[in-house]
Amino acid sequence: MEESKLLIEDKNIVTPGDILAEGLDYLPSSGCYRTGNIIKSKYFGVVRIKNRYLSVIPLAGAYMPKSGDGVIAKISDIQTTFWICDINSPYDAILQIGEVAEEYIDLTRTDISSFFDIGDIIYAKILNVTKSKNILLTMKDYRARKLIGGRLIKVTPSKVPRIIGKEGSMIELIKNKTGCQIIVGQNGIVWFKGQNEALAAKVILMIEKEAHIPGLTDRVNAFLDKFSNIKGEKL
Amino acid sequence: MKEKEKLIINRKRLDGRDLYEMRKIEIQINPIKNSMGSAMFKFGKTWAIAATHGPRAAYPKWQQNPEFSILKTRYMMLPFSTWERSKPGISRRSIEISKVVNDALSNVIFLEDYPKTMIDVFIDIIEADASTRCAALNAASIALALAGVPLKDIVSSCSVGKIDGEIVLDIAGFEDNYGEVDCAVAMIPHEEKVLLLQMDGIVTKEEFKKMIMLAKEGCLKVYESQKTAIKQAFTNIIDIE
Amino acid sequence: MSNNNYVKNLIESGMRIDNRKFDEFREIEIKTNIIDRAEGSSIIKIGNTQIIVGVKLSVGEPFPDTPDEGILIVNAEFSPAASPSFEAGPPDENAIELARVVDRAIRESHCIDLKKLCIVPKEKVWNINIDIQVIDFDGNLIDAACMGTVAALKTTKIPKYENDEVDYEHREGELPLVDLPIYVTIYKIGDKLFVDPTKEEEEAADARISIATIQDGKICAIQKGGTGYFTISEIERAIEMSIIIGENLRNLFKH
């Protein structure tokens, strides 16, 4: 048996076609593929190694829906029994009336736009994604709701985990220091509402830009402190 | 008709290059902020900018493929890119080049990852000093990688040819006009997989073998510079060499 | 409905749907001078593929960079009758590619002595318009179109030109044809290379490479097509094949 060899280290930056490992002991997880007995990267991104599993997290790219993801969606069309939602992905998502209302709805008497109208922003959960990319949303989740007011920004979907931080630590830090309500959709849409909206937006875009550089939490902390101090002096 | 001038004097070409020397490569990362990924690629004066949009929902809807994403490449020469103004819009030449570039790029994209969608690649030639389809492909494959499109590998391209009876690398404009053979090659160089090959002019099969091996060397060089440029995607202009 | 997987498996196991060898063409039938009103014409049949080529000559101004040479213009149209997948309308990318690929072989082989088609330098030269009409499609259009074009050019006569007028009803000279460029397109499925596909084989193929050769076995044009790849050694094999097969095909014209 040929010996397996790892050719990269955890957190290395790779480009498409870069060889990650040789031999059959390593297994390609997301973002890479096997050809013959070598594993190559599919993306320009960062390598993650977990035991025998190799993956590459892309530094850019469109959002690909996964079931269970919480997303921020915009109602883009209304049909008789469902809504069509833009989820910042190549695919539209469907939200059916049964996933919104608990009780029976008499459709002969109800215009479902009384629940959500075109242009409304909602936070919803992805219920299911089929092989041919038919996507169902649900509002039956404790976090799901209509988002009223506030501001939206778009970030690279692959950077969302860094914005949220370990067990939500990063986002909690920003919430505490800016006093904003913030919701981060896995689809790369961030919603926030509060006094320091501009500061919150700035810091989120900073995280997006510098997500791959170590020492992120410290820099975010320093950044937020600098601004809140200036604010404090002026007051 | 001008008398045919010598294109190689003392084994140097008219622009001072050696026979197997490539023009200077310049790459700029993400010059177009509004696209998912974009790149500028220059071979000397030949200057291409490629930008990608997508994957996004495929329209018109009848073009959707339930299993694959559709790649749509549009190559265009801008009117001021040539000595004589070229007519704006899509010519027969650009339709053909768009098709062969599209085929070459389709080979490396995991189109099955994004069913029902399309990926657009727009390539503009800002200035044309021969080998434009090569610069176009090089820019496009960097742009696709930056856009986070899943790729098997990066496509690299360069031209080879025959001028004054000698096999040379990277044909420039005057060599294209007065040389004997022009050949554009795109490949995944380290695997020797040829994805685009267009040649015109008369060669023997031995000369062709020499040309294609030279093209491989050229593509390897382009490949390395593309990878270096992509990895430095967070700084701005990078000159290789 | 496509038979792609069946054809692929068959080719990979070394067979073809019509039992031909990998380097064997279907029966080729060429008739020339079929259209009186055209200065040169041909109809070529390779199996069920049928193409009509017409050559029309007219007098026009030369290009400024070649003031003493005739002008070659190649156009191709896919008749919607030729296949349910062809659509009416202006030539699509496939028709444009076909025309440009044939154009390159004719031009780069220098098979027409364009200098002999100059009437008055900088003012008047003959324009050679080659129109390729695909009337029935069953694969291998590039090879068929190029052979049809060469056949039509070989029988092309130059009309009488007097007092600034072309007299199309009387012809005097022959077209100065000095070589016979022939395309042989090599198709690839898996690691197998074969020629002259039927429509089904063409649809199943990964990639193709068209190699045009001239009389002394030199290559004058190459075009790779399709989304698959060729390795360098496969290209070298393809070139060997096209030189040998091209020489045999060229013999069809030498009588």
C238 interaction partners in chain B (CB closer than 8 Å): none
Asked whether the beta carbons of residue B151 and residue A17 sit closer than 8 angstroms, the reply is: yes
Interface test with A, best of B230, B235, B236, B238 (most A CBs within 10 A): B230
Question: Could you say which of A100, A130, A147 is where a domain stops?
Answer: A147
- The model's confidence at residue B60, banded by pLDDT at 50, 70 and 90, is confident
Torsion sign (Cα): A212, A213, A219, A221: positive
Distance from chain centroid for Cα C167: 29
Alpha helices in C114-231 (DSSP H): 141-154, 199-204
| Interface contact B1, partner C, CB < 8 A | yes
Pick the last residue of a domain from A147, A175, A207. A147
Q: Give the per-residue pLDDT at B2.
A: 47
Residue A63 lies in a domain: no
Q: Is A206 on the interface with B (CB under 8 A)?
A: no
A15/B233 CB distance under 8 A: no
CATH code of the domain in which B128 resides: 3.30.230.70
pLDDT tens string B176-198: 888 999 999 999 999 999 999 99
CATH of the domain at A200: 3.30.1370.10
Residue B229 has, within 13 A of its CA and on its CB side, a CA count of 32
Full-model pTM: 0.90
> Which tokens sit at C195?
């020629």
pLDDT at C3: 79
- State yes or no: ipTM above 0.90: no
Contact flag A58-B108 (C-beta cutoff 8 Å): no
What local confidence, expressed as pLDDT, does residue C68 receive?
Answer: 93
Q: Do A167 and A193 have their domain in common? A: yes
Split at pLDDT 50, 70, 90, the class of B10 is confident
- Could you write out the DSSP letters of every residue in B64-78? --SS-PEEEEEEEE-
Dihedral angle at the C-alpha atoms of C56, C59, C64, C68, nearest 10 degrees? 90
Q: Three-state DSSP class for B101?
A: helix
pLDDT given for residue B89 in this prediction: 84
Please indicate if any CB of chain C lies within 8 Å of the CB of B204: yes
Q: What does the alpha-carbon distance between residue B33 and residue B29 come to, in Å, rounded to a whole number?
A: 10
Q: Which of B103, B198, B199 sits opposite C226 (nearest CB)?
A: B103
Residue C220: how many other CB atoms lie within 10 Å: 26
Dihedral angle of Cα B35, B36, B40, B46, to the nearest 10 degrees: -70
pLDDT tens per residue, range B21-56: 999 999 999 999 889 899 999 999 999 999 999 899
Could you tell me if C67 lies within 8 Å of chain B, comparing CB atoms?
Answer: yes
User: What's the total number of domains in chain A?
Assistant: 3
Domain CATH number, residue C135:
3.30.230.70
Q: Which of C100, C229, C230, C233 to mutate to test the interface with B (most CBs of B within 10 A)?
A: C229
Closest chain B residue to C111 measured between Cα atoms? B202
- Domain assignment present for residue A134? The answer is yes
Q: Which of A111, A5, A106, A87 is nearest to A54 (CA)?
A: A5
Task: Please check whether residue B193 touches A, CB under 8 A.
Answer: no
Domain range for B70:
17-239
Interface test with C, best of B205, B210, B213 (most C CBs within 10 A): B205
Q: Rounded to 5 degrees, what are φ and ψ at A179?
A: 70, 15
What is the bridge-based pairing of β-strands B237-239 and B193-203?
unpaired
Shared domain check, A101 and A175: no
| Record: contact B199-C235, CB cut-off 8 A | no
Low-confidence ranges of chain C (pLDDT < 70): 1, 255
Among A147, A164, A182, the domain boundary falls at: A147
Chain B hits for A188, Cβ within 8 Å: none
Q: Is residue B140 part of a domain?
A: yes
Q: What does the pLDDT look like over B98-157, one tens digit per residue?
A: 999 999 999 999 999 999 999 999 999 999 999 999 999 999 999 999 999 999 999 999
Q: What angle do CA A221, A143, A167 make, to 5 degrees?
A: 35
**Is residue B147 within 8 angstroms of chain A, CB to CB?**
yes
Q: Which helix (H) or strand (E) holds C3?
A: none
Per-residue pLDDT of chain A (235 residues; tens, 9 = 90+): 567 889 999 888 899 999 999 989 999 999 999 999 999 999 999 899 998 999 998 888 899 999 999 999 999 999 989 999 999 999 999 999 999 988 888 888 888 999 999 999 999 999 999 988 999 999 999 999 999 998 999 998 888 988 998 889 999 999 988 889 999 999 999 999 988 888 888 899 888 888 777 788 888 888 888 876 655 443 3
Kindly determine whether residue B57 and residue A92, on different chains, have CB atoms separated by under 8 Å.
yes
Residue A65 lies in a domain: no
Q: Are residues A142 and A159 in the same domain?
A: no
The boundaries of the domain holding residue C244 are 4-253
Give the domain extent around A76.
70-147
**Residue B32 contacts C where some CB pair is shorter than 8 Å:** no
In a mutational test of the B interface, the residue from C142, C219, C233, C237 whose CB has the highest number of chain B CBs within 10 Å is C219
How close does chain B come to A63, measured CA to CA in Å? 10
CATH number at residue A110: 2.40.50.140
B107 with C228: Cβ contact below 8 A = yes
A3 CA: distance to closest CA in chain B (Å): 22
pLDDT at B238 over 50: no
**What is the count of structural domains for chain B?**
1
Q: Are residues A86 and A34 in the same domain?
A: no
Q: Identify whether residues A138 and A162 lie together within a single domain.
A: no
For residues B186 and B171, give the distance between their C-alpha atoms in angstroms, rounded to a whole number: 14
Half-sphere exposure of B149 (CA within 13 A, CB side): 38
Question: Is the CB of C218 inside 8 Å of chain B's CB atoms?
Answer: yes
Between A and B, how many CB-CB pairs are < 8 A? Answer: 81
Residues A90 and A135 in one domain: yes
What is the total count of domains within chain C? 1
**Spatial contact of A139 and A147, defined as CB atoms under 8 Å apart:** no
- State how far residue B169 is from chain C, nearest Cα, in angstroms: 17
